[in-house]
Amino acid sequence: MAKAFDKRIDLSEARKSWSGIFDESTILSINKLMKKGFVKDIGGVAKEGKESIVLAGVGSDGSVAIKVYAVNATKFKRMETYIFGDKRFSKIKRDRRSVIFAWCRKEFSNLKLAFGKGVNCPEPLAFQNNVLVERFIGSYPTPAPRLSDCIHSDLDWKELFKSVLEQMKKMNMAGIVHGDLSEYNMLYWEGKPYIIDLSQGVLLSHPDAHEFLERDVKNVCSFFRKLGVDCEETEAMSVIEND
């Protein structure tokens, strides 16, 4: 199975470092995506988290990010909150593997909705079980920096805040709420903010959608306020929710 992977990824070492992520099922899923042409080459790890690992790769028409969700994710129970109130996933079984696979499909679906409305976010390309392939944001193989990594940069934070609100408004028009938005899942690239990590995003019909949106706004305003931007949460909510 390992022959399909680029030599720069030592699969045996990957298994040791990230047991529970690079299991046999995940390897099969990545190989299927490679056979379909969505992934041609894997260059290395772009981002490492508790619930997933993002690999930098090359697809048939450019660089891609390959997001692998850990089947043994530590925050498995938290995922259920965002899935079982979502009408798109009402028939999902409650076992761990089914929920993780749904989590992957959910991010693909949310990205498709957001990207379709012009939100600055990775273009979703394909998914297979717990593996998602999306357009790479950054200068391959180095991902674009998170906003949290840009706090010492000489940026126009006031204008950037307006741009973030505009992206949140577009997401609202797409009918989804991010649900966990902060400076840690927004990238800064070519003068624009990009929203990433939409797996927990919910439809506006979700019973907790408004509460999640309020939390997103609170997090965003808190971050920009620390950088000297005068922002009120009530006004921000009005911008996002009004057509």
Three-state SS at 28: helix
Q: Which residue has the tokens 């439809």?
A: 203
Residue 177 to residue 72: CA distance in whole angstroms = 26
Residue 139 to residue 217: CA distance in whole angstroms = 29
Whether the upstream peptide bond of residue 207 has omega within 30° of 0, thus cis, is: no
Kind plus residue range of the DSSP H or E element containing 52: strand 52-59
Three-state SS at 124: strand
- Asked if 61 is an active-site residue, the reply is no
Question: Distance from CA of residue 90 to its chain's centroid?
Answer: 22
Residue 165 to residue 172: CA distance in whole angstroms = 10
**Catalytic entry in 23, 154, 197, 230:** 197
- Asked if 10 is an active-site residue, the reply is no
Q: Which long-range contacts (CB under 8 A, 24 or more apart) does 207-214 make?
A: 207/85, 208/81, 208/85, 209/177, 212/177, 212/178, 212/179, 212/180, 213/172, 213/177, 213/237, 213/240, 213/241
**Catalytic entry in 23, 61, 86, 180:** 180
The residues that are catalytic are 180, 197
